[in-house]
Amino acid sequence: MGRRLLDYFPCIDWLRSYNRNLLASDASAAIIVTILVIPQSLAFALLAGLPPEAGLYASILPAMAYAIFGTGNTLAVGPVALISLMSAAAVGDVAEAGTAGYAVASVALALVSGLMLLIMGLLRLGFLSNFISHPVISGFITASGLLIAASQLRHIFGIELAGDNLIELAQSFWLSTGAVHGPTLLVGMLALVFLYLVRHYLALGLSRLGIEARISGMLVRSGPIIAVVVATSLAAIMNLDDLGLSVVGDVPSGLPALGMPDGPLALFQALLVPAFLISIVTFVESVSLAHKLAARRKERISPDQELLGLGAANIASALSGGFAVAGGFSRSIVNFDAGARTPAAGALTAVCIGVVTFFFTSLFYYLPHAILGATVIIAVLTLVDVTVIRQTWMYSKHDGAALISTLAVTLLIGVTAGILTGIALSLILYLWRTSRPHSALVGRIYGSEHFRNIHRYKTETDPHLMILRVDESLYFANARYLEDRIYTLILEQPQLTDFVLMCPAVNYIDASALESLEAINGRLSDAGIRLHLSEVKGPVMDRLDKSTFLKALTGEVFLSTYRAWCKLHKAEEDSPGTEEVEVQS
Amino acid sequence: MGRRLLDYFPCIDWLRSYNRNLLASDASAAIIVTILVIPQSLAFALLAGLPPEAGLYASILPAMAYAIFGTGNTLAVGPVALISLMSAAAVGDVAEAGTAGYAVASVALALVSGLMLLIMGLLRLGFLSNFISHPVISGFITASGLLIAASQLRHIFGIELAGDNLIELAQSFWLSTGAVHGPTLLVGMLALVFLYLVRHYLALGLSRLGIEARISGMLVRSGPIIAVVVATSLAAIMNLDDLGLSVVGDVPSGLPALGMPDGPLALFQALLVPAFLISIVTFVESVSLAHKLAARRKERISPDQELLGLGAANIASALSGGFAVAGGFSRSIVNFDAGARTPAAGALTAVCIGVVTFFFTSLFYYLPHAILGATVIIAVLTLVDVTVIRQTWMYSKHDGAALISTLAVTLLIGVTAGILTGIALSLILYLWRTSRPHSALVGRIYGSEHFRNIHRYKTETDPHLMILRVDESLYFANARYLEDRIYTLILEQPQLTDFVLMCPAVNYIDASALESLEAINGRLSDAGIRLHLSEVKGPVMDRLDKSTFLKALTGEVFLSTYRAWCKLHKAEEDSPGTEEVEVQS
């Protein structure tokens, strides 16, 4: 399946039919998104350890690049909390916070991650993200939300806080308790309470007033901008910064300078692993969000093309002094609810934010950090989902263990260790499970052609004949286990003359398992027992035909277990193919 | 299943019934083994980069320890080629060859590996070895055989050779070609030709003379000791060492001093990974050998207890100045053929070798290194199995790729990289295969209750009804793949009203796959299609009952696909349970 060059530019499709109506929808959405997401963009830049303008820069070119290469009509790309946290953790390992090297490393990380996404898109490696299980993602997101909220307490309490995990943050908090700044705490708490009430009760109130859900949703999401405007105005009028309230201060106006990030090769190498994890999380989160938004409007997205769009966005972010970006949940929901119709809405948002960055950054001077911190805390607490822990544990202990381990390691050690632990553990648990497959001795359901577990059903059996159904593909990790199971079983039934391995759930037999089958065949033969197979699937049979196993097999391969029963059952009658066999007493 | 303390000492069982007959058999076997394996023990010590006496030490206490804790009656434990090579590669990374530090590191490696085996035995982690597939082992052993043979060319040519892989060995050989020593080469070539002829043609000749296979096998295996005796005598009489022929020289007599290996903690840490790989290879090879020997006499071994036996042997080796040991193929075969009956044979061999070490080491003074090199080369070339490469590749491309990669990386980079590559690749290929499961649209075999692939069989289908059989457990790595497959399928059949997912080969549904099923259910529901399941296995159903999925399911769960067909098929008749349904035109 070759792709034409034009296929890499999905914007061509929607631009062809673009018209005034679409423009009107997209433009109004863009204005709303711009107003609502600016506080977030500033706050996530701080979360990533960068100056606030980096958040604006990361909202301009990346959104334009995604509009060209992305396939999600309403996905809004820019700074997001989770990725900002991962960026801060990765960059904090290679550079001192607040230094020029830190900014360089943040940009380098976005570049490496963008290139990885691009390469994954070109090589169609999107399936790699399938190897992260949902419980691991759940645990990781919940833990990240808690970590982010904890880290933002620095702004609420007006103290210094540092650390990559809850333990370090708690120690740091403990050491700084003496420095808590009263006025800051007051502003921060007021903002938290206000934002909490808006988010949790405003929608309820508005719906009682009969306001449409879409509109009330938008009003709820305007909480942060209202808090920002009110607090910034008050701080400016009352000169609260003189009281020691920390404010954003000078934000350079003008558009970002374009340029290649430049750092030593060792820096890029040191960022490879975190960049890869950020790429995977960016992809998983953005695509699942894009899927959900697209499904609501019966649209489709192309995962491999999304990799290109996200890759281009991150590279654009790196070239314009931004940091790692992804498709953001709240900015996308605002975009969707505000009526965006095509990716042009994202591009127009970028233009609007560009205008703000060019002309209006002085307005942010008196914006208190405490307000930004409160905005982030309220935003990320929606990531925390505790009910899923119990549900997952109830459904499957393995999945629950993967979730809880990811959660615990992320909280107690850090994001990189957390997600790596989750991925490794879920793979190991999967291999562990398939290495000890379920198998059942089966007997005939009286008078039927069906064979079921002798411990679950009342069945007809035969002391000369043993039928074992194995419920897993046979491969190296479980081959020896099967051998041991069979050797143990045959000791229990001394009259045994025929052993049937029933294979309806065996989708594959690898070379190691084939050797085990040969060993089983030899061992049973030594014990005077013939080995038969039944219900072998077509593809498995094709493969066995290429080996010498079928020649060495002491018994037969039966199409159905019933035929094996008819042939091998030492009953009064033994003509194969008859529909009924007398029930043994 | 608790184990009693006595269960950890299997020797108690056989000692209870030990008698004069058994002693006679075991003692005569011990004498034969002692004579035949001494050249090997010296040669493998050189291969491990150690002085020859280390090979003797590694044959005394380890064999005694195994006799106490091991369960293989005829398995002989001592230095083996593969493990000696792995030891040399690992120790060569942390210490300079020929230094005191090198000997310390060899001993430390045996200790760490022994402790790991012991811990694996106590925790019953023997199943870990199942994660190395047979093709990986095959590729590793063949490559190791070639590497060992290449490294021994140093003794045949009388030159210096160093390197962990074929490339380094070839470079080293090229640089040393000027230093080739004529007399040494002559002795080495004569020994190689003699040993080759003995191994490949003597048995043939003896069987023509009507000699029993067991006896002729033993005579064939006496080739090395004959070569040793003849060459050593000639070298002593003719003072060949004056010609520059390299001989073993002074071997300290007396038993090894016992003591804890002592080295910096960093040394032990650096050896952790190679020690783990050596433990796994030791276990896999020793246990598969013990299994084969035991099966010939209808005896059984206990893999978890074998871990304890092998662990004790390696610890004993470390305490007595030896190096890493395992169950050796040729020494075990000699032991078996010479009539050993119980592990006492191993203990008695140890006593005999102890006597040799105490009194007779001066006899080895004139033993030429070239003879030892020739002995090793002829021994390890039997490890090289080329036919298995082609067979494995023919049977399965995945298994073939794992084998060839292991082989290539071992030869070209080294043993540690080789086995790690093999393990990683076989796991990745397995995950890759299960992440893209086989699935088939099925139809009803006319007039029957059976449903088969519509592309393989002539079947009855229904434009309103689609039945997909998925041939794999559903888990995180393939959940999204299944979603995509179903979304694509339903677009192809616009009249569709009912979709049945047929699950006879689904042995497990994890939490990620459950979410995908919920997503599929929602998406199909939006498209006006009901989702049904059929032939869901008992354990899977038990698990689904714990979730909310079954409540949300738009369709039903059918015990058999035939019942689903009867209920959902829009044919003339629709009473479920009838045996025949009219065939649609």
Question: What pLDDT is attached to residue B113?
Answer: 96
CA angle A212, A215, A219 (to 5 degrees): 130
Confidence of residue A177 (pLDDT cuts 50, 70, 90): confident
Q: Is residue A432 part of a domain?
A: no
Do B174 and B310 lie in one domain? The reply is: yes
Do A89 and A144 lie in one domain? The reply is: yes
Do A495 and A414 lie in one domain? The reply is: no
CATH of residue A504: 3.30.750.24
How close, in Å, is residue B543 to chain A by CA atoms? Answer: 6
Mean pLDDT on A367-393: 91
Sign of CA dihedral A419, A421, A427, A433: negative
| pLDDT tens, N- to C-terminus, chain B (585 residues) | 456 777 888 888 888 888 888 898 899 899 989 988 898 899 999 999 999 999 999 999 999 999 999 988 899 999 999 999 999 999 998 888 888 889 999 999 999 999 999 999 999 888 888 888 999 999 999 999 999 999 999 999 999 888 889 999 999 999 988 888 988 999 999 999 999 999 888 878 888 888 888 788 888 888 888 999 999 999 999 988 888 889 988 888 888 888 887 778 888 989 999 999 999 999 999 988 888 888 788 777 888 899 999 999 999 999 999 999 999 888 898 898 888 899 999 999 999 999 999 999 889 999 999 999 999 999 888 889 889 999 999 999 999 999 999 999 999 999 989 999 998 898 888 888 888 888 999 999 888 888 888 988 889 999 999 999 998 899 999 988 898 899 889 888 889 999 999 998 898 999 999 999 999 999 899 889 999 999 998 889 999 998 999 999 999 999 889 999 999 987 544 444 444 433 333
Structurally, how many domains does chain A consist of? 2
The whole-angstrom separation of Cα A103 and Cα A109 is 10
The whole-angstrom separation of Cα B573 and Cα B557 is 21
Q: Is residue B524 part of a domain?
A: yes
Whole-angstrom CA distances from A463 to A443, A490, A492 are 11, 11, 10
Do B372 and B511 lie in one domain? The reply is: no
Q: Is residue A503 part of a domain?
A: yes
Q: Is residue A364 part of a domain?
A: yes
Do B489 and B380 lie in one domain? The reply is: no
Q: Is residue B433 part of a domain?
A: no
Could you tell me how far CA B249 lies from the centroid of its own chain?
A: 36
Place of tokens 């990380």: A109
Q: Is residue A246 part of a domain?
A: yes
pLDDT over 80 (residue A476): yes
DSSP lists the bridge partners of residue B444 as: B451, B460
* Residue A238, SS3 per DSSP: helix
Alpha-carbon torsion, ordered A280, A81, A321, A188, to 10 deg: -170
A213 phi and psi, to 5 degrees?
A: -60, -40
How close, in Å, is residue A513 to chain B by CA atoms? Answer: 9
**Among the listed ranges A3-7, A73-77, B232-236, which one has the minimum average pLDDT value?**
A3-7
* B478 touching chain A per CB within 8 A: yes
Conformational region of residue B80, where left means phi above 0, alpha means psi within -120 to 50, and beta covers everything else: beta
- Computed over every residue of chain A, the mean pLDDT equals 89
| 8 A C-beta contact, residue A47 and residue A357 | no
Question: What pLDDT is attached to residue A5?
Answer: 76
The whole-angstrom separation of Cα A272 and Cα B518 is 35
Task: Name the pTM for this structure.
Answer: 0.79
Q: Which of B433, B479, B523 sits opposite A508 (nearest CB)?
A: B433
Sign of CA dihedral A475, A480, A483, A485: negative
Rg (CA), chain B: 31
Question: What pLDDT is attached to residue A585?
Answer: 35
Confidence of residue A2 (pLDDT cuts 50, 70, 90): low
Q: CA nearest B536 in A: which residue?
A: A505
Of A373, A402, A427, the residue that ends a domain is A427
Check B511 against A134: CB less than 8 A apart. Answer: yes
Q: Is residue B14 part of a domain?
A: no
Of B385, B405, B427, the residue that ends a domain is B427
Mean pLDDT on A297-322: 91
A-chain CB neighbours of B476 within 8 Å are: 130-134, 426, 430
Structure tokens at B467: 């039945």
A299 phi and psi, to 5 degrees?
A: -100, 170
Check A399 against B512: CB less than 8 A apart. Answer: yes
Look at residues B322, B355, B325 and name the one whose alpha carbon lies nearest to residue B75. B325
pLDDT over 70 (residue A580): no
Do B277 and B330 lie in one domain? The reply is: yes
Rg (CA), chain A: 31
- Best residue in A475, A516, A526, A543 to probe B by mutation, most B CBs within 10 Å? A475
Question: What pLDDT is attached to residue B167?
Answer: 94
Question: What pLDDT is attached to residue B571?
Answer: 53
A-chain CB neighbours of B512 within 8 Å are: 133-135, 399
Do A324 and A351 lie in one domain? The reply is: yes
The whole-angstrom separation of Cα B120 and Cα B115 is 8
* Per-window interface: B 3-42 vs A, CB < 8 A: none
B-chain CB neighbours of A475 within 8 Å are: 133, 430
Of A370, A405, A427, the residue that ends a domain is A427
Do A503 and A356 lie in one domain? The reply is: no
The whole-angstrom separation of Cα A70 and Cα A340 is 15
The whole-angstrom separation of Cα A514 and Cα A551 is 13
Helical axes B369-381 vs B223-237, angle rounded to 10°: 170
The whole-angstrom separation of Cα B443 and Cα A311 is 43
Look at residues A379, A365, A331 and name the one whose alpha carbon lies nearest to residue A231. A365
Whole-angstrom CA distances from B561 to A418, A450, A515, B140, B482 are 43, 14, 34, 47, 19
Domain carrying residue B329: 19-427
The whole-angstrom separation of Cα A514 and Cα A524 is 15
Residue with the bigger pLDDT between A220 and A321: it is A321
Q: Which of A396, A433, A511 sits opposite B134 (nearest CB)?
A: A511
Do A40 and A94 lie in one domain? The reply is: yes
Reported as a single tens digit per residue, the pLDDT across A435-454 is 888 899 999 988 888 888 89
3-state SS string for A257-279: CCCCCCCCHHHHHHCHHHHHHHH
Q: Which of A298, A395, A515 sits opposite B547 (nearest CB)?
A: A395
B-chain CB neighbours of A435 within 8 Å are: 127, 130-131
The whole-angstrom separation of Cα A306 and Cα A285 is 11
First and final CA of chain A: distance in angstroms? 62
The whole-angstrom separation of Cα A51 and Cα A47 is 9
Helix (H) or strand (E) holding A1: none
B-chain CB neighbours of A547 within 8 Å are: 391, 395
* Per-window interface: A 298-317 vs B, CB < 8 A: 298
Check B504 against A507: CB less than 8 A apart. Answer: no
| 8 A C-beta contact, residue A130 and residue B480 | yes
Helical ranges in B48-99 per DSSP H: 52-57, 61-69, 81-92
- Best residue in A1, A124, A127 to probe B by mutation, most B CBs within 10 Å? A127
| 8 A C-beta contact, residue A406 and residue A140 | yes
Rounded-to-5 percentages of helix, strand, coil across chain A: 65, 5, 30
Q: Is residue A434 part of a domain?
A: no
The whole-angstrom separation of Cα B478 and Cα B432 is 9
Do A421 and A454 lie in one domain? The reply is: no
A-chain CB neighbours of B426 within 8 Å are: 476
Pairing of strands B465-470, B459-460: unpaired
Do B498 and B401 lie in one domain? The reply is: no
- Burial of residue B363, with CB atoms counted within 10 A of its CB: 0-12 exposed, 13-18 middle, 19 or more buried: middle
Do A78 and A164 lie in one domain? The reply is: yes
Give the largest CA-CA distance in chain B: 103
Number of H helices, E strands in chain A: 26, 9
How many other C-beta atoms can be found within 10 angstroms of the C-beta atom of residue B530? 17
Question: What pLDDT is attached to residue B574?
Answer: 43
Structure tokens at B448: 């029957």
Confidence of residue A507 (pLDDT cuts 50, 70, 90): confident
Reported as a single tens digit per residue, the pLDDT across A317-363 is 999 999 999 998 888 988 888 888 999 999 999 999 999 999 988 89
Percent of chain A past pLDDT 70, that is, above it, reads 97
Confidence of residue A571 (pLDDT cuts 50, 70, 90): low
**Among the listed ranges A415-429, A543-557, B167-181, B206-220, which one has the minimum average pLDDT value?**
B206-220
Half-sphere exposure of residue B207, counting CA atoms within 13 Å on the CB side?
A: 8
Question: What pLDDT is attached to residue B576?
Answer: 45
Mean pLDDT on A185-201: 92
